[in-house]
Structure 1
Amino acid sequence: MSYQEILKQYWGYDTFRGIQEKIINSIGEGRDTLGLMPTGGGKSITFQVPALAKEGLCIVITPLIALMKDQVQNLRQRGIKAVAIYSGMTRQEILVALENCIFGDYKFLYISPERLDTEIFKIKLRSMKVSMITVDESHCISQWGYDFRPAYLKIADIRDLLPGIPVLALTATATPEVVKDIQTRLKFKQENVFRMSFERKNLAYIVRPTENKTAELLHILRRMTGSAIVYVRSRRRTKEISELLVNEGITAEFYHAGLDNAVKDLRQRRWQSGESRVMVATNAFGMGIDKPDVRIVIHLDLPDSPEAYFQEAGRAGRDGEKAYAVILHSKSDKATLHRRIPDTFPDKGYIKDVYEHLQYYYQMAMGDGLGCTKEFNLEEFCRKFKHFPVPVDSALKILTQAGYLEYTDEQDNASRILFTLRREELYKLREMGKEAEALIQVILRSYTGLFTDYAYISEDTLSVRTGLTRQQVYNILVMISKRRIIDYIPHKKTPYIIYTRERVELNRLHIPPSVYEERRKRYEARIQAMVEYVTSKTACRSRMLLRYFGEKNLHNCGQCDVCISHRTSDEVSTVTFEALKEKLLHLLKATPLTPAKVEELIETDKEVLTQVIQYLLEEGEIEMRDGMLWDK
């Protein structure tokens, strides 16, 4: 079947969009390929279509568990065999999934980068017929990127086990240096990049200065119609803002990583169906969420990088209709943003203290630790050693990147049970009550191996099958656990510390410049870029973002707040502005000049001339070196 026929059969579309077909042809011809496609550009089609045209299995590497589950479900609904492997699955479940990939004619295996390095995966991989490897969120492999994840570096090792198998790398945000780095680290045979313009012609970028953000938020939501996302920095603020909106008669949900999966799913469904108009969320919300009719994305707090902002803002207007991305900006935002630098990169001495306290926390002897996996309770650790959570979290991430341990995000551990009585003894039990007996019967019918090993269960599923509420199911499981009929470990969210090497003495703990100083410098540059974005009053917002990602765009968007303010000034001033711009560029082509000399040579209103200079500096058409203005 041709690519076009596959697209029509499984997705119902007649034609590809944008650069989809070029990427598909490239990977289909066996060439390593990097596709740069902004949020909503249709990334999944670029690997799903060629994988269906090829014989064998496509391995899809992605860090987003919610996205994995969603895509596997979508593929299965289309009659395509797909499976996912992620943390929280039992060894038996992983084995079954891998065996299916070898013998079951599966087309897609979704896997998190952390699972690639396991012995069981490497052994089974040798027996799989792999057609291609897809690396989603591929900017995570680059230390120059804003979201570097050490586990991604293991992908290159998998390539060594699969010689000749092509790689398709995909990302929605990458600066020019990250684009080069992705290809180097994924061992591309030759550079091969397809770029879709990052320009979003239907999306108006607005920065609204205000010292009363909540009043401005209410004003905007009352004036505009349609679905909205409001991004805030902390979990606590998601709840506060959503309650404020509800009290003001605006339907709203709140969402953050600490919520139960069942709660997340319910709130997401209510928002996606339009039952709730506004989702107030941290940056944990949005990855893999396909709601095309979001009319406005509002940031109450500044993101710490243009990459993060571009992704979050890009969730508005994916249906191609007019939409808005608004930042509410106050004078204190700059200081707040700069305070994140020491939080994200605490002193090396502090990082060493956290490492040492971790050893006391686990009572880890010198030289021990290698390969140990430990549950980690951040709150308890901070209480015990008088630390604050944010810098501890950052210190553990830096120690992960330096190779001393692996600090995982909160892992969703499903509930588990093990029957402690033998099967024949169960039938002797009486007086448990009808509901408890019915629940035990449903458990025995629904799960296997319950008498030999812990089995993962779902209280929600048991609730549906028994007609009991979820709370009743939980209460009965606790009751029969107390009676020593089962051992019940309820669902919980737990981060883990995995020691990737033995405990070392503090004077031997080395955090290299590539992990600390260089990354801190790039983090500071990203924060500065965000500050410049919100404080500029002369440069088109769209052009500023595009230039950051290395895209040269010679026209203004005409719809951001800066463009509108220029447009509303009278035509004479616009003509004057353009004339002064040309005059200044002409002078600088001949020789560099100081700003004072420029004022002397161009007789005009000093404030207007300053605006012209500032505009040309921000647009990158001129630069300031050693106090002189130079033509670029």
Structure 2
Amino acid sequence: MQRALQILQKYWHHDTFRPIQDTIIQSVLEGNDTFGLLPTGGGKSLCFQVPAMVNDGLCLVISPLVALMKDQVNNLQSRDIKAIALTGAIKADELINLLDNCQFGNYKFLYLSPERLEQDWVLDRIKALPISLIAIDEAHCVSQWGHDFRPSYLKIKNLKSNFPKIPFVALTASATPQVKDDIIALLGLENPKVFQQSFARNNLGYFIIPAEDKIYKLNQILQKNPESAIIYVRNRKNCHEYASHLEVLGHKTTFYHAGLSVKEKENNMNSWMRDEKTVMIATSAFGMGIDKPNVKTVIHINLPENLESYYQEAGRAGRNGEKAFAILISSPSDIIMAESQFIAVLPDTIFLKDVFIKLCNYFRIAYGEGINEEFSFNLNQFCSYYKLPILKTYNALQFLNRQSIISLSQEFSEKAQVQFLIESKEVIRYSSLNPDDEPIVSTILRTYPGIYDLQTNINTDFIAKKSNSTEAKVLILLEKLQKMEIIDYFSQKNESKITFLEVREDDRTINRISKHLEKQNLVKKNQLQSVVNYVSNKDTCKSKMLLQYFGETIANDCGVCSYCSNKNTKSYNSEEIRNKIVQLLTENPMNSRALIETLHIEESEILKVLKQLLEHDMIGINTKNQYIIK
């Protein structure tokens, strides 16, 4: 281990390993198959990077995300460590050259997706490489009960026959006991050493806060805790809306989502990391590789898809060991919205078959043909042609991709980026002078509220439909506005590539994989139900609930979460609250917010008593929406 510590100090400039890191590394160096469960912030990557640097040879790293691979490769290269990632966008000729580099160029790390292992010629080339360690990152993807199942992970086990004496190390930040057992069995780990760090975060308080007006509640929380914060929202539009609202209220905000350019992401991230901006408002696209120690508060505005994701995102608070808060602001409509966002868009077998048949017909593939045929593909145009819901169709195509029925070469992208360069009043003036253009311009402005502030990806097909126009007319108008210097317009011509990996057999193809789809849908429904239970339960410590979900049992409540805080707070009966409200209203008219802030009693209790007082005609409401004594 002395050599491992020297490498840690030389390349990563740390003097000691984090808890469990050293024991995992020791196990790997001893040649054992090893499983490590390190919750977010535990430093998983070092558990294979350090032993790979100790040993001669090449470390093969199997990872599910292109962005994650690129991030780790860039990080290694910045430390003068030779690493390569074989992503899906790399063409065969370039791939051959990169594999040659791995064989003869003294590289230490080769990152690739599990789907690459399904290419026989790639696997043959890998067999000839001096592999010293095989690392499986995000290992929960191997389990159908995991929150991100990838069928191609099941084939990693086949590497055991090619590298029988090479140790495997499987790592994940989130796995229930069932998923942990699945990982060990499905990867074929032999007598593995198992290491698991507790999911308990003693310095982190988990809070469920009910609120109808989430902006108002956010402002309260941020005023009380003005240090660095992350606010997770549902989509890109929410990023801009919440940023605008909070800026008006005096908070220094920035935002992060997948629609920003690389430069914008970098600038926004740096301003937050340097504490020039205090509040980062982000979608779930934000988080990979984020290790900012002084984040005081992580706030979720909407229900997350599963508790695994929630735990990881919430865990970005308090990494410096100081007291921190993970807050989920909930309202009665959240469950319905979450079901609409996560469950209603899941394709069933009938929808999946319909999409697959339409996809084959779209590219004129005859029954029994199509294998290895490749086409350019535009999701928006495909969905428009067949009148299919975009997100549900996207999920169906992603499932076909994960089942290796088709291959999608890259993520779908919108066709245009637009930013308005003139003030809103000038845009209104233009629209009044050009009434034929007004419907398209107005639709763009209504749909993308942040379009004055930055380059914004827009869906031109969607704009055409909403404005009762055609996509061609939208594109012509955008070019016209650019020439007039009203907008900055960049057209994205890159479309996805879709490859059919099997012959077309319709029923036979879909029926063979339908059981996996049904199981996946069941997993997602159960996971969302666990989130609903977590939010709705008012009788159990929140920290204890999270630990139980991940298979840990503790005897004592945490003492700091919303349940524990409410339990320790003085309770009031309705009569006490009523008397306090009447006393305050006798002195001055007050609205409900003022009453809540003055009395420091739970909002729901005050609103319930106010309703009773109104029903009994003891109070009324004046023209300023304030309560008054009658």
Instruction: Give the 5 Å matches for 1:131-150.
Output: 131-150=132-151
Task: Work out whether residues 356 and 506 of structure 1, in 8 Å CA contact, stay in contact via their aligned partners in 2.
Answer: no
Match of 2:398 in 1: 397
Match of 1:278 in 2: 279
Q: Distance in 2 between matches of 1:562 and 1:370?
A: 57
Cα 1:88–1:127, aligned 2, differ >3 Å: closer, same or farther? same
Match of 2:441 in 1: none
CA shift for structure 1 position 518: 2.5
* Stretch moving more, 561-570 or 280-289: 561-570
Is 1:546 the counterpart of 2:551 in the alignment?
Answer: no
CA shift for structure 1 position 268: 2.1
Q: Distance in 1 between matches of 2:506 and 2:9?
A: 61
Cα distance per residue 1:348-391 (max 9 Å; x no partner) = 22222211221222222222221233333221112111111121
Match of 1:111 in 2: 112
Structure 2: gaps of 5 or more residues: 415-478, 480-489, 572-630
Q: Distance in 2 between matches of 1:492 and 1:311?
A: 35
Instruction: Give the 5 Å matches for 1:519-558.
Output: 519-558=520-559
Match of 1:174 in 2: 175
Q: Distance in 2 between matches of 1:69 and 1:400?
A: 21
Match of 1:258 in 2: 259
Cα distance per residue 1:152-211 (max 9 Å; x no partner) = 223223333222211111100000110011111111112432000011111111110011
Task: Work out whether residues 88 and 412 of structure 1, in 8 Å CA contact, stay in contact via their aligned partners in 2.
Answer: no
Match of 2:321 in 1: 320
Task: Work out whether residues 88 and 409 of structure 2, in 8 Å CA contact, stay in contact via their aligned partners in 1.
Answer: no
Cα 1:521–1:356, aligned 2, differ >3 Å: closer, same or farther? same
SS class of match (2:134): strand
Task: Work out whether residues 204 and 318 of structure 2, in 8 Å CA contact, stay in contact via their aligned partners in 1.
Answer: yes
SS class of match (1:222): helix
Is 1:86 the counterpart of 2:87 in the alignment?
Answer: yes
TM-score (norm 1): 0.74
Cα 1:185–1:507, aligned 2, differ >3 Å: closer, same or farther? closer
Instruction: Give the 5 Å matches for 1:327-406.
Output: 327-340=328-341, 342-406=343-407
Instruction: Give the 5 Å matches for 1:203-352.
Output: 203-340=204-341, 342-352=343-353
CA shift for structure 1 position 119: 4.2
Task: Work out whether residues 66 and 288 of structure 1, in 8 Å CA contact, stay in contact via their aligned partners in 2.
Answer: no
Task: Work out whether residues 232 and 299 of structure 1, in 8 Å CA contact, stay in contact via their aligned partners in 2.
Answer: yes
Q: Distance in 2 between matches of 1:371 and 1:259?
A: 33
SS class of match (2:53): helix
SS class of match (1:509): helix
Q: Distance in 1 between matches of 2:72 and 2:395?
A: 31
Task: Work out whether residues 343 and 525 of structure 2, in 8 Å CA contact, stay in contact via their aligned partners in 1.
Answer: no
SS class of match (1:371): coil
SS class of match (2:296): strand
Cα 1:411–1:61, aligned 2, differ >3 Å: closer, same or farther? farther
TM-score (norm 2): 0.74
Match of 1:37 in 2: 38
Cα distance per residue 1:41-95 (max 9 Å; x no partner) = 1112211111111111111121233332332233233332222221333444433
Task: Work out whether residues 32 and 192 of structure 2, in 8 Å CA contact, stay in contact via their aligned partners in 1.
Answer: no
Q: Distance in 1 between matches of 2:225 and 2:366?
A: 61
Match of 1:123 in 2: 124
Match of 2:47 in 1: 46
SS class of match (1:207): strand
CA shift for structure 1 position 333: 1.1
CA shift for structure 1 position 267: 2.3
Q: Distance in 2 between matches of 1:42 and 1:235?
A: 29
SS class of match (1:537): coil
Q: Distance in 2 between matches of 1:400 and 1:406?
A: 5
Q: Distance in 1 between matches of 2:295 and 2:94?
A: 37
* Stretch moving more, 278-287 or 262-271: 262-271
Cα distance per residue 1:321-365 (max 9 Å; x no partner) = 222111010011122223346424333222222112212222222
Match of 1:501 in 2: 502
Task: Work out whether residues 243 and 254 of structure 2, in 8 Å CA contact, stay in contact via their aligned partners in 1.
Answer: yes
Match of 2:588 in 1: none
Q: Distance in 1 between matches of 2:545 and 2:16?
A: 32
Identity %: 43
Q: Distance in 1 between matches of 2:513 and 2:99?
A: 37
Cα 1:349–1:20, aligned 2, differ >3 Å: closer, same or farther? same
Cα distance per residue 1:251-300 (max 9 Å; x no partner) = 32332223333332332223222232222222111112222222211111
CA shift for structure 1 position 543: 0.8
Task: Work out whether residues 401 and 515 of structure 1, in 8 Å CA contact, stay in contact via their aligned partners in 2.
Answer: no
CA shift for structure 1 position 494: 4.4
Q: Distance in 2 between matches of 1:52 and 1:508?
A: 44
Q: Distance in 1 between matches of 2:386 and 2:316?
A: 41
Instruction: Give the 5 Å matches for 1:400-419.
Output: 400-407=401-408, 410=411
Match of 1:600 in 2: none
Q: Distance in 1 between matches of 2:506 and 2:103?
A: 45
Q: Which amino acid aligns with 1:519?
A: Q
Cα distance per residue 1:475-514 (max 9 Å; x no partner) = xxx9xxxxxxxxxx98766444332211123476315464
Q: Distance in 1 between matches of 2:76 and 2:253?
A: 31
Q: Distance in 2 between matches of 1:334 and 1:412?
A: 29
Task: Work out whether residues 139 and 170 of structure 2, in 8 Å CA contact, stay in contact via their aligned partners in 1.
Answer: yes
RMSD: 2.5
Q: Distance in 1 between matches of 2:280 and 2:374?
A: 36
Q: Distance in 1 between matches of 2:159 and 2:547?
A: 34
Cα 1:114–1:399, aligned 2, differ >3 Å: closer, same or farther? closer
Cα 1:519–1:128, aligned 2, differ >3 Å: closer, same or farther? same
Match of 2:59 in 1: 58
Number of positions where the alignment pairs a residue of Structure 1 with one of Structure 2: 496
Task: Work out whether residues 271 and 278 of structure 1, in 8 Å CA contact, stay in contact via their aligned partners in 2.
Answer: yes
Q: Distance in 2 between matches of 1:142 and 1:569?
A: 46
Cα distance per residue 1:101-156 (max 9 Å; x no partner) = 11121111122223333345323213211110111111011111011122322322
Cα distance per residue 1:420-458 (max 9 Å; x no partner) = xxxxxxxxxxxxxxxxxxxxxxxxxxxxxxxxxxxxxxx
Task: Work out whether residues 402 and 511 of structure 1, in 8 Å CA contact, stay in contact via their aligned partners in 2.
Answer: no
Q: Distance in 1 between matches of 2:524 and 2:215?
A: 29
Q: Distance in 2 between matches of 1:496 and 1:546?
A: 42
Q: Distance in 2 between matches of 1:411 and 1:202?
A: 40
Q: Distance in 1 between matches of 2:527 and 2:102?
A: 42
Q: Distance in 1 between matches of 2:322 and 2:495?
A: 41
Q: Distance in 2 between matches of 1:27 and 1:97?
A: 27
SS class of match (1:319): coil
Task: Work out whether residues 557 and 563 of structure 1, in 8 Å CA contact, stay in contact via their aligned partners in 2.
Answer: yes
Q: Distance in 2 between matches of 1:373 and 1:224?
A: 53
SS class of match (2:511): coil
Task: Work out whether residues 411 and 493 of structure 1, in 8 Å CA contact, stay in contact via their aligned partners in 2.
Answer: no
Q: Which amino acid aligns with 1:330?
A: S
Q: Distance in 2 between matches of 1:502 and 1:212?
A: 53
Task: Work out whether residues 349 and 514 of structure 2, in 8 Å CA contact, stay in contact via their aligned partners in 1.
Answer: no
Task: Work out whether residues 64 and 287 of structure 1, in 8 Å CA contact, stay in contact via their aligned partners in 2.
Answer: no
CA shift for structure 1 position 27: 1.1
Cα 1:263–1:566, aligned 2, differ >3 Å: closer, same or farther? same
Q: Which amino acid aligns with 2:63?
A: T
Q: Distance in 2 between matches of 1:258 and 1:101?
A: 34
CA shift for structure 1 position 554: 1.6
Q: Which amino acid aligns with 1:324?
A: F
* Stretch moving more, 228-237 or 546-555: 228-237
SS class of match (2:516): coil
